[in-house]
Structure 1
Amino acid sequence: MNRAVALRIAACGLMGLGAALLMAALLLTMYTSGRVAKIPLNIDTTLVSEGTATALDPTSLTTGDPFVITENTPVVLQRQITVEAPSNADVVTLQVGDTLRRTDQQQDNGLLLAMVDTVTLDRSTAMAVSSDTNPGGAVQKPRSIEEENPPTNIALPHDGLSYRFPYDTEKKTYPVFDPIAQKAYDANYDGEEDVNGLAAYRFTQDVGYDGNGPDAKLSDPLKYASLYENDEDGQVTARAALWGVEAEDPEEPITMTRYYAAQRTFWVDPVSGTIVKSKEHGFHYYARDALKPEVTFADFTVESTEDTVESQVASARDEGDVVALWSRILPISFTALGLVALVGGVLLGAFTLRAERALIDPGLDEPDHGFFGRRPTDSGPMPAAEAQTEKLPSQRPPDRH
């Protein structure tokens, strides 16, 4: 194989490589990035929020004395998130266990709230995959501490987002499901804020309040959706003395209904949709009139701990790096390399063609020679024929007089 043939093969190889790289960049942009930007299937995390509360002392429920409500009680909200079946290329099922505890009491004596929620989400949109015929979600029926039977799930159709926002989160309003209220409420975009170096979108959600903030008032609190068959924690009858309310007869039985309202703030990584930080104000109370709370069960405000924020920011960055690699870095790199390879192949091919023509006819390599052949002026006579002919001077005729 001579050098000219080798150069021709190299030129074709470069152009083929350039075309392949450009095609790969196009495929990554159109198909692969969409398959990568999905909720991971390996979620296993514990989120912790701390704060204070005005809360019922659970031990006072069994003493026969008036219910004891304490203020400035330290509380911790712990959320455990794991992936369960069914989970596949299209959907992921999250099981989320929430507990709110008073940290000033030991073991289960300080337990105020507990719930296990399960929801199946579309991995691309983060929306619940649920309907009346296929709920795609459930809550666990409460059990006593001594109960040994396995937990029982109660089907609960979910809608909207749950525990995640979608990839490429936008500055708009999203419906976010509240498992206690058992329905979705709007989470409104409220600005951008730096969270540990991450530019996060802030969303606020109001459940039963007329706004989000310390000055917000109860506007439409919800009757607590009890998970017991007999609604034993949704409506309670007790002596007036136990409730601590005024009555002509302290032994008079008074029935009160449990109500619920909440305010939430989410800080969301817009690339991955990960909630990197959250703040929640929950209000559970008993009353005979929904807008006139009489006995507080738990009025708490908690915010993500610094360790939780750091962990969530790191997780969001990891997910964002994977998406950036497949949707931006690799396509841009492949496009640049593809263009370089194509241009290099074309230039090498042009050089090879010129070299081959020069070998066939050395005159073809002269500066006044066209790349595709002789110029039109090259079709004239040979140089020897172009030599000037010397002209002899003519003789003057003799002068005759």
Structure 2
Amino acid sequence: MNRAGMVRIAAFGIIGLGAALLIAALLLTTYTSGKIKKIPLNIDETLVSDGTGSALDPASLTGEKFVVDKNVPLVSQQQITVESPANADVVTLQAGTSVRRSDKQQDNGLLLAMVDTVTVNRSTAMAVSDDTHPGGSVQKPRSIEDNKPPTNIALPHDGLAYRFPFGTEKKTYPFFDPIAQKAFDANYDGQEDVNGLTTYRFTQNVGYDADGKLVDPIKYASLYDKNEDGEVTARAELWGLPGPPDEPVTMTRYYAAQRTFWVDPVTGVIVKSTEHANHYYARDALRPEMELADYKVTSTEQTIESRVASARDERDRVGLWSRVLPISFTAAGLVALVGGALLGTFSLRAESALIDPGLDTADHGFFGKDETGPMPAAEAATEKLPAARPDLEPPPPQR
């Protein structure tokens, strides 16, 4: 095989490579990108919020009167991990949430605890639930002395849970509240910068109106078999009520909350949150009589930094597969196609020159007519000018 043939084969190879790169760019844009924009399967994170509020003193439960302490320091902690099932389409998130007084030691300061499990779509972050598969559960409360394995109570979930979808929009989303056991609207409320990351802010009201007024509190759904913490009967003296001290008074537990989420719109990661929650006992839902826990907490700076870093990592992963690689492959593919076409033209001319050497003469140079020969002026005939003849008159005759 001559050199021109080898060049032609190389040209075809480069053109094929360029076409392959363009096809790869198209697939990355239309197919692979959708596969990448999914909730990761390796989530294992601890989210911490702190603040202050009013809280029942657990020691007073055995005293002569229930005591509510004001302005106590509180810490809310949420541990989120991935459980089964978790595959290409869905992921199951288990969230263990606790609220405790940080001025009390160990379990003496524990106010609230819940373990919620939900299976969500990895792309939309919506709970996956139907009549046969509730898609979620809550763990039945256990006493400190109970060493038996935990048991779960099926709890159908709907709406979003623990994060927003990829490509979050400026609209209202249903967001599930495991305490109220149903979803409430999370309304878009503006755009805000959080540690250099542009986020969408969403607000959610559960039992409150937009002005923070109690309008429709939720009757607490007890997880105990006999509703031990949903309704409590105690002597009027314990409740701190006037009248006969030994008169039994039954109160119902209610719940209301206000939340704000700051969400990375690209990945749906909640990078910051605030929560005002109110658990109280009352005979009239709109007239709280004794606070169990009324507090407001905000994500700690360490948690915010960690969540922003997670959002940026997911952004980078999505950007690599949906923008950087498609653009790079497209540019490289176009360069390869153009380069291959030029190399192919070069090989054809080279092969033609080898077959017919005359094509490489002055009139058929490799790239056309040979323009390197002598200039026309150099080939023009020179004009000879006549020289003047000398005077040849004969000498005069001799005498």
TM-score, structure 2 length as denominator? Answer: 0.89
- Amino acid corresponding to residue 246 of structure 1 in structure 2: P
**Structure 1 equivalent of residue 328 of structure 2:** 333
Partner of 1:193: 192
What is the CA–CA distance in structure 1 between the aligned matches of 2:286 and 2:362, rounded to whole Å?
96
* Counterpart check, 1:300 vs 2:289: no
CA contact (8 A) 2:5 2:351 kept: no
Amino acid at match of 1:115: M
CA contact (8 A) 1:354 1:365 kept: no
Paired position in structure 2 for 1:23: 23
Partners of 1:115 and 1:366 lie apart in 2 by: 91
Residues 367 and 138 of structure 1: CA distance in aligned 2, closer, same or farther (over 3 Å): farther
Q: Secondary structure at the match of 1:250?
A: coil
Contact 1:49 1:76 in 2 (8 A): yes
Structure 1 vs Structure 2: percent identity of aligned residues? 75
**Counterpart in the other structure of 2:308:** 313
> Is residue 124 from structure 1 mapped to residue 120 from structure 2 by the alignment?
no
Confirm whether residue 55 of structure 1 aligns to residue 51 of structure 2: no
Within 5 Å, which residues of 2 pair with 1:19-98? 19-63=19-63, 65-98=64-97
The yes-or-no answer on 1:230 pairing with 2:229 is: no
1:218 and 2:214 correspond:
yes
Deviation at 1:219, TM superposition (A): 0.8
1:268 aligned onto 2:263: yes
Q: Please list every run of 5 or more consecutive structure 1 residues that lacks an aligned counterpart in the other structure.
A: 375-401
Aligned 8 A contact 2:47 2:79 in 1: yes
Amino acid at match of 2:273: S
Distance 2:62 2:90 in 1: 45
1:36 partner amino acid: I
- 2: distance between equivalents of 1:90 and 1:322? 18
Q: CA RMSD in A?
A: 1.8
| TM-superposition CA deviations, 1:188-231 (whole Å, max 9, x none) | 111111111111111110001111xxx42011101000101111
2-structure distance, mates of 1:38, 1:346: 40
Q: 1:86: Cα distance to partner?
A: 1.2
In the TM superposition, residue 149 of structure 1 has moved relative to its aligned partner by 1.1
Cα deviation per residue 1:313-352 (whole Å; 9 max; x = unaligned)?
Answer: 1111111111111111111100000000001111111122
* Superposed counterparts of 1:248-397, under 5 Å: 249-362=244-357, 364=359
Structure 1 residue 354 displacement after superposition: 2.0
Deviation per CA, 1:231-260, whole angstroms, max 9, x where unpaired? 11011111111111222x121111111110
Q: Is the 8 A contact 1:26 1:331 kept in 2?
A: yes
Taking a change above 3 Å as real, the CA distance of residues 293 and 366 of structure 1, as seen in their structure-2 partners, is farther
Deviant stretches of 4+, over 6 Å: 366-374
Alignment check: 8 A CA contact 1:83 1:95 kept = yes
2:182 maps to 1:183 = yes
Question: Does the Cα contact within 8 Å between 1:53 and 1:72 map onto a contact in 2?
Answer: yes
SS across alignment from 1:52:
strand
**Contact 1:99–1:113 (CA<8 Å) still a contact in 2?**
yes
Q: How does 1:152-171 map to 2 (within 5 A)?
A: 152-171=151-170
1:100 alignment counterpart:
99
Shift of 1:359: 3.1
Deviations 1:121-149 (A, max 9, x none): 11111111112321110001111111111
Q: Is the 8 A contact 2:116 2:137 kept in 1?
A: yes
Counterparts of 2:133 and 2:361 in 1: how far apart (Å)? 81
Size of the aligned set, in residue pairs, is: 369
Structure 2 CA distance for aligned equivalents of residues 51 and 365 of structure 1: 88
CA deviation map 1:267-314 (0-9, x unaligned): 111111111111000001111111111111110000000111111111
Distance 1:318 1:141 in 2: 36
Deviation at 1:165, TM superposition (A): 0.8
**Length-normalised TM-score, structure 1:** 0.89
1:240 aligns with one of 214, 236, 243: 236
2:353, 2:366 within 8 Å by CA — same for their partners in 1? no
Give the letter aligned to residue 231 of structure 2: Q
Aligned letter for 2:7?
Answer: L
